[in-house]
Every structure is written in structure tokens, then in C-alpha cells.
Amino acid sequence: MLRTHTCGELSISDIDNEVRLCGWNQKSRDLGGMTFIDIRDRYGITQVVFNMDVDEGLCKKARKLGREYVICVEGKVIERSNKNKKLKTGDIEIIAKGLKILNESKTPPFTIEDNTDGGEDLRMQYRYLDLRRGPIKRNIELRHQVLQETRKYLDREGFLDIETPSLIKSTPEGARDFVVPSRMNPGEFYALPQSPQTFKQLLMVSGFDKYFQIVKCFRDEDLRADRQPEFTQIDCEMSFVEQADVLQTFEGLIKHLFAAVKNISLDEFKTICYDEAMQYYGTDKPDLRFGMPFKEMNELCQNNGFNVFDKAELVVGFNANGCGTYSRKNLDALTNFVIRPQIGAKGLVYVKCNEDGSYKSSVDKFFDQNALANWAKAMNAKEGDLLLILAGTKGQTRKALGELRLEIGNREGLRDNNKFAPLWITDFPLLDWDEEENRWNAMHHPFTSPKEEDIPLMDTDPGKVKANAYDMVINGVELGGGSIRIHKKTLQQKMFNCLGFTEEEAQSQFGFLLNAFEYGAPPHGGIAFGFDRITAMLGGKESIREFIAFPKNNAGRDVMLNTPSAISERQLKELGINLSC
């Protein structure tokens, strides 16, 4: 090794030892006859001292080092007179006896420090320099730890890590596939997997009753902020299980990760069914770090002559505890928040519960103190609280009020990054009506089983059918989801039928799975987690991009590699394709 130690490990116990360190010149200072160099590597920073009186040549050489030069320093460890408590190695320094420049460096386009002056674009173009900065480096180290701890837990629980293929068959169901032209089979294509779903089900048919894989998946979507065309999934499946077994096992995984990585012991996860989540929080991924559940108010509010309420399918509100002192300006801001096009409410009704027991409302004209007192009672409000109420169609109003609830959470500092409120959402609908295509879509995917007792409804009232499907949600973020699968051919065919597949389409796309179900498929179910998302949550951040070594931008481009890019005519010819654009 070119070094005897890293830049993060020397301490008082190494005093008088001769050492050799390699790293980057983080910073140098000339003080009279001395030059101090901070040498940095992945593990830390160590101070090196060069003395004009001791070795003038060496000191002069040190004075010429630019930032980010790669150097190898030899010398003796001594105790520092003025110790640096902020540094792991702050008790010692190295008296340099030798200095070798391993490589030079141009001045970096931005400063390599925790707080950099580099903008997003520049940092992405020079991602290899951005990765040197402490915050990004620690994210990548965290990701490593989460990878290892995930595998450790699942291995211990008897899961087998089995790799499934990356060059698979394109199927039009769901999001768009990335495809790969086959040179050996001109005119034909592989697809990159959106998930290993059918393969893990085949592995269950094979008898590998506990499978996992941390695996790259690919989705050719119009990218939204913080979506990546390639992403990493913790993919799992189990046989001979019921829903409760899957939930227990993977609640265990997440608890293990929080304990191992953050030293946080999570309480038992709440379970809320989909209908309740929608009713009380207006979303299937409620943030339960704070309360403020919805109260449906139709009975209390309607038929009072206030047209907005009277005409609404749903009148619904929540008690913003302690927000009764919000100013006119605050309340206007909340109104502006809900009437933005992304939220789409028509207006906001508020009721302030004053300290003197009176009520002040935006609908004073229509509702007297008595009526408002009844609302307050229904919402368990007391003096100093604020009631916020929306009205309109059921779906949109719930959604808008859910957003407003989160906004109040933000304003009141109730969404603390160091607090975690995990829960399971269960009993999702099996199907989702697609207005554009005028047909049913699978809410999760076509392999999700309906609740046994709802199977007859598939023929008569498909929208009512509940699925054995579940999502894990923490702090309003969906970390993963799964289901107990269909394992009988007839039911799978019925499901394809509901989704509008002809028998031929089902056979040509998923024939291998339907066939497999005829040869002793066991009952099975599983889950998949967004690994990037879990890591970001454990890292206390919202953007997954900061936890990916080489991410793509929102247009799906790698700006460092400058790709996607043109390929040669020869490649196109060999692949049997032409550009049509």
C-alpha cells in the first residue's frame, strides 16, 4: 500500500510513530516559517506540518501544492499544542519528512466543501468531484450500509437472493418498457424489466419459498421531479403465507434498518384500510406524524342555505389544533394554497375558535355562533383551534384537504425529519377505472388477488372488489407495496378478462405464467420497496438523487457522460433498425 494509515485514524496512541498518508490537499496555510496542509481522504482529515527551518526544500514544495492535488506524505505523528476538537484526528499532527505528488489537479469548478458554491448542473457535470463533498459522500456510505443491512436481515430470515434476468419480454401492461433490439434476432427486441414480478412468482412455483433481490428496474416514463428511468428495488416474495405473515416479516425489515442504521426503535406499525385513509386523511399515504383527521360535515353543514355546502357531494374539514391565532394574512395564504390549479379547490372555509369562547368564520353570514359551536364540538376543537373546511366532489375535495393538512403540518413544524410514523395501508380496491381508455386498470398490477369473498363482484360490480394488497407508508411517503397474488389459472384468466385482455392476448403475453399455474403453484405473496426512497428517508432527505452515485437529470440524461447519444450507422445496420426521426 502507498499508505500506512488513512487520514481518519491517527490519534494520541500513535504518537512518535512514522506514518505515510495519501489523500487530497484540502487546504493549506502558510504561517511564518511553517506551512500547514490538511490532507483529506474518505475517512477524514489530518493536519500535516512543514517547517522552513527543518527542511526548506520540502516546505517550499508544500507551498506550491494546489487544492485537490493528490499527495503522499511521510512523517512522524506528534501531539498538537492547540487541539482541534471538531476533528477526529484533532489531537495530533504529522511533522512531514517527505512529500510526493501523486497527481496534480486543476482548480475545481466549485469548492469541494460541505457547503459548495456549485450549482446543480455544474455539480452533475462534474459528479466525480461532487461525490468528494462530505454530504454526498456520507449518503453513498449510508446507501452501502442500508444495502448490507437489508441483505443481512433477509438472509437471516431464510430468504434466498436469486438474480432474475434483465433482458426479458416486452408487455404493454403498465408503464412503458425500455426495449433492446436483438442483433442475433433481427426485428425482435428484449425489454428491460419494470420489476421482476413474474419471475419471482415463477420462483414460488419452483418452490423457493422465500426470495429476495435488490435489483435495478427500468421505467420509460415522462420523468417527473425526482423520478429516475432506472431505479433500485428490494424485491421479495414468499410462499404459503397470508397477508399478516408478509406484513410482519417486512415490518421487521424496516424496524431492523431503522435500528441498525439510525439506532431508532420503531413502534408497532399502525394498520389503516384504504377506505379509512381516504376518509380521514384524503390520501392513501397519510403522514401520521401529526393528527388532524378529517371530519365529514355534510349533516351538520348542509341545508342551511349556504349554496357552496348545499350543492357539494362532500363537506369535510379538520381541526388545525392551536392555529386559532392565524392572522388574516395567514388565512389568505391558506386560501391561495388550496385554490392553486394543482390543488383545485374553489375556496376555503375557516372557523377560528377564539380564546373567549366565540367563533369567527368566513361563513358568519350563513352560520350563527350556535352552528359554529356544533362544528367545533364535532371536531373536538377547543379555544385557540382553527377549523378548515372544503366542499365539492368527494375525490377532489378529499385530495385538496389532504394537501391542506400537510401544509398546516409544515407550517406548524409537525413534520419533523427525526420523527417516524410508519403504517400499513390495506384493503385497496382491486381495480381502478381509466376514464381515458374507458376500461378497468389493475390498481397494483394484474397479479394481485381479490379478496376471496369479493370474487363474485368481479362480474357484477368490479369497482367494489377489494384486493389483498398493502402499502407501507412512513411520514407520507410510500416506501413499498405488495399483495397476496393470484395462484390459480382460472382466477388469473378472470382477472385478465376484467382488464379487457382477450384470451389470445393473455396467452401471448403471460402464457408462461398461466402455464406455470397449471403445475402446482403454491399460494404466495410479496412486496417490493423503493430502495432509493428508503435510503433517502434513512438519510433524512427527500430527494433520491442525492443518494444515487450517478443519477440522471429530469430529462433522463446523464450530463456527465452526455448520453443518451447517437450511435454509429454500423450499429444501426447490425441491429436491423433505422431512425424514423
- Nine-digit cell string for 43: 475517512
Give the separation between CA 485 and CA 450, rounded to whole angstroms.
9
Instruction: Report the residue number, 172 or 341, with the smaller CB distance to a copy of itself.
Output: 172
User: Is 116:126 a contact under the CB 8 Å cutoff?
Assistant: no
Size of site (CB under 8 A) for a copy of itself: 124
Question: Of 52, 87, 180, 331, which one interacts with a copy of itself (CB under 8 A)?
Answer: 180
CB of 51 to a copy of itself, least distance (A): 25
Give the separation between CA 322 and CA 276, rounded to whole angstroms.
25
Binding mask 17-56 for a copy of itself (x = CB under 8 A): -----xxx---------------xxx--------------
CB of 384 to a copy of itself, least distance (A): 50
* Residues 108-137 within binding reach of a copy of itself (CB under 8 A): 108, 126-129, 131-132, 137
Instruction: Report the residue number, 141 or 364, with the smaller CB distance to a copy of itself.
Output: 141
Identity of residue 264: I
* Residues 215-234 within binding reach of a copy of itself (CB under 8 A): 216, 218, 220, 222-223, 229-230, 232
Q: Does 100 sit near a copy of itself (CB under 8 A)?
A: no
Q: Bridge-partner residues for 76, per DSSP? A: 18, 95
User: Is 302:314 a contact under the CB 8 Å cutoff?
Assistant: no
Instruction: Report the residue number, 290 or 496, with the smaller CB distance to a copy of itself.
Output: 496
Question: Of 17, 84, 111, 182, which one interacts with a copy of itself (CB under 8 A)?
Answer: 182
CB of 579 to a copy of itself, least distance (A): 5
CB of 350 to a copy of itself, least distance (A): 43
* Residues 57-86 within binding reach of a copy of itself (CB under 8 A): 68-70, 72
Instruction: Report the residue number, 128 or 433, with the smaller CB distance to a copy of itself.
Output: 128
Binding mask 264-303 for a copy of itself (x = CB under 8 A): ----------------------------------------
User: Is 334:407 a contact under the CB 8 Å cutoff?
Assistant: yes
Instruction: Report the residue number, 280 or 517, with the smaller CB distance to a copy of itself.
Output: 517
Q: Does 413 sit near a copy of itself (CB under 8 A)?
A: no
CB of 184 to a copy of itself, least distance (A): 5
Q: Does 342 sit near a copy of itself (CB under 8 A)?
A: no
Give the separation between CA 156 and CA 215, rounded to whole angstroms.
19
CB of 577 to a copy of itself, least distance (A): 5
CB of 12 to a copy of itself, least distance (A): 23
Give the separation between CA 267 and CA 258, rounded to whole angstroms.
11
Give the separation between CA 84 and CA 14, rounded to whole angstroms.
17
Q: Does 500 sit near a copy of itself (CB under 8 A)?
A: no
Q: Which stretch binds a copy of itself (CB under 8 A): 176-184, 306-314, 405-413, 538-546?
A: 176-184
CB of 85 to a copy of itself, least distance (A): 24
User: Is 361:349 a contact under the CB 8 Å cutoff?
Assistant: yes
Question: Of 98, 240, 332, 463, which one interacts with a copy of itself (CB under 8 A)?
Answer: 240
Q: Does 439 sit near a copy of itself (CB under 8 A)?
A: no
Give the separation between CA 288 and CA 290, rounded to whole angstroms.
5
User: Is 424:271 a contact under the CB 8 Å cutoff?
Assistant: yes
Q: Does 410 sit near a copy of itself (CB under 8 A)?
A: no
Q: Does 501 sit near a copy of itself (CB under 8 A)?
A: no
Q: Does 494 sit near a copy of itself (CB under 8 A)?
A: no
How does DSSP assign 319-380, residue by residue?
Answer: EETT-TT--HHHHHHHHHHHHSTTT--S--EEEEE-TTS-EEETTTTTS-HHHHHHHHHHTT
Instruction: Report the residue number, 205 or 506, with the smaller CB distance to a copy of itself.
Output: 205
CB of 500 to a copy of itself, least distance (A): 16
CB of 260 to a copy of itself, least distance (A): 13
- For 293-304, the three-class secondary structure string (H helix, E strand, C coil) is CEEECHHHHCCC
* Residues 519-578 within binding reach of a copy of itself (CB under 8 A): 519-523, 548-550, 552, 555-558, 560-568, 571-578
CB of 571 to a copy of itself, least distance (A): 7
Question: Of 111, 170, 304, 497, which one interacts with a copy of itself (CB under 8 A)?
Answer: 170
Nearest by Cα to 319 from 378, 400, 371: 378
Nearest by Cα to 345 from 372, 379, 305, 314: 314
Instruction: Report the residue number, 15 or 175, with the smaller CB distance to a copy of itself.
Output: 175
- Nine-digit cell string for 312: 357539494
* Residues 139-168 within binding reach of a copy of itself (CB under 8 A): 140-141, 143-144, 147-148, 151, 155, 160-168
- For 401-444, the three-class secondary structure string (H helix, E strand, C coil) is HHHHHHHHHHHCCCCCCCCCCEEEEECCECEEEECCCCEEEECC
User: Is 228:548 a contact under the CB 8 Å cutoff?
Assistant: yes
**What's the first-to-final CA gap in the chain, in angstroms?**
53
The DSSP call for residue 13 is: G
* Residues 183-222 within binding reach of a copy of itself (CB under 8 A): 183-192, 199, 202-203, 205-209, 216, 218, 220, 222
User: Is 472:478 a contact under the CB 8 Å cutoff?
Assistant: yes
Instruction: Report the residue number, 25 or 35, with the smaller CB distance to a copy of itself.
Output: 25
Instruction: Report the residue number, 203 or 272, with the smaller CB distance to a copy of itself.
Output: 203
Instruction: Report the residue number, 249 or 475, with the smaller CB distance to a copy of itself.
Output: 249
Q: Does 452 sit near a copy of itself (CB under 8 A)?
A: no
Kindly give, in sequence order, each residue whose CB lies less than 8 Å from that of residue 571, ignoring residues fewer than 6 positions away.
Answer: none
- For 54-86, the three-class secondary structure string (H helix, E strand, C coil) is CCHHHHHHHHCCCCCCEEEEEEEEEECCCCCCC
Query: Residue holding cell 443518451?
Result: 564
User: Is 44:24 a contact under the CB 8 Å cutoff?
Assistant: no
Q: Does 106 sit near a copy of itself (CB under 8 A)?
A: yes
Residue 575's Cβ-count burial label (10 Å; 0-12, 13-18, 19+) is middle
Instruction: Describe the crossing of helices 134-156 and 531-538 by its angle, rounded to 10 degrees.
Output: 120
Kindly give, in sequence order, each residue whose CB lies less than 8 Å from that of residue 414, ignoring residues fewer than 6 positions away.
Answer: 289, 290, 408
Q: Does 433 sit near a copy of itself (CB under 8 A)?
A: no
CB of 346 to a copy of itself, least distance (A): 36
Kindly give, in sequence order, each residue whose CB lies less than 8 Å from that of residue 86, ignoring residues fewer than 6 positions away.
Answer: none
